[in-house]
Amino acid sequence: MSNDNPFQKNMELWQQFSDSYTKNMFAMFEKNLEHSKAFQDQVQAAVSQAVETQFEMVMTNLKTMQEQIGEISANLGEAAKAPANGKKTK
């Protein structure tokens, strides 16, 4: 058999193509994973920042509510001690 065998030449070309295709696919897959990881990191950072901001706002509101409840409790305590309609109770 000679080196000009069309079947042999076809197999060699197919092997070159498949090797090149496989390398390109793996390279694209790795690049996509890198981009995915970078995207995940960005999303995680954004979520963390949003949660932290919301947590701070909630804690500030809770502190304000606690102060208001304390004031209301004090006012109710004073009101309970005061006589009704300005008259002394027996």
Does 89 map to a domain? no
Q: Which residue has the higher pLDDT, 87 or 6?
A: 6
Does 85 map to a domain? no
Does 2 map to a domain? no
Domain containing 49 equals 7-72
Per-residue pLDDT at 2 exceeds 60: no
**Quick one: pLDDT band at residue 88, thresholds 50, 70, 90?**
low
**Quick one: pLDDT band at residue 1, thresholds 50, 70, 90?**
very low
Does 77 map to a domain? no
Q: Which residue has the higher pLDDT, 87 or 50?
A: 50
pLDDT tens for residues 5-63? 888 999 999 999 999 999 999 999 999 999 999 999 999 999 999 999 999 999 999 99
Does 42 map to a domain? yes
Does 13 map to a domain? yes
Does 45 map to a domain? yes
Does 65 map to a domain? yes
DSSP string, 26-68: HHHHHHHHHHHHHHHHHHHHHHHHHHHHHHHHHHHHHHHHHHH
| Total structural domains within the chain | 1
